[in-house]
Copies of this chain bind each other. A is one copy, B any other.
Amino acid sequence: MSGSIASRVQAEPFEPGAELARFTKAAPGAGAIVSFTGLVRGEDHAGRALTAMTLEHYPGMTEAQVHAMTEEAARRWSLLSVLVIHRFGRLEAGAPIVFVATASPHRRAAFEAADFLMDWLKTKAPFWKLEEGAEGAEWVAAKAEDDQAAARWR
């Protein structure tokens, strides 16, 4: 039943607004479209000023994992279409890191599928964040709350 399932893992920046415009045009029949944009915050996990971060990833495995998630979401919620974009490499504060969009006839499926995709991206996609602050670079530790959030979807 799914129309378009797409995922991109890329170093290039992207524009959430332009992506949502394109996604909306390509989802005829949709009654509900949810988008999520994750951005580099201007502070690190400890609240200190952050200038940039670098996202390391596992080339090959990342693309496969992310695409498998989109298929899993489309299957669980019978989505009309789904899109995931995830950047890697160096990102400045304020830059979009990740974009998820889901289209469905009804809003509950669109909300839940986007929520699910973000929880899985946080816990099952091989990306690692290195934060660059005034005191140097530091690898971000995984959060127990992300594991708990992902466990909701079993």
* A residues with CB within 8 A of B: 15-22, 24, 28-42, 94, 96, 105, 107-108, 110-111, 114-115, 118, 149
User: Provided the pairs A28-B42, A31-B41, A41-B31 are in contact, do residues A107 and B17 lie with their beta carbons within 8 angstroms?
Assistant: no
Q: Are A37 and B33 in contact (CB under 8 A)?
A: yes
20 contacts between A and B (CB under 8 A): A16-B21, A17-B17, A17-B18, A17-B19, A17-B20, A17-B24, A18-B21, A20-B37, A24-B37, A24-B39, A29-B41, A31-B38, A31-B39, A33-B35, A33-B37, A34-B35, A34-B36, A34-B114, A35-B37, A111-B118
9 extra A-B contacts, CB within 8 A, seeds A20-B20, A20-B37, A32-B37: A15-B21, A16-B21, A24-B37, A28-B94, A30-B39, A33-B37, A33-B39, A34-B36, A36-B111
Task: Report how many copies the assembly holds.
Answer: 2
Chain B residue with Cβ nearest A15: B21
Closest 9 CB pairs of A and B: A17-B21, A31-B41, A33-B37, A17-B20, A35-B35, A17-B17, A20-B20, A34-B36, A111-B115
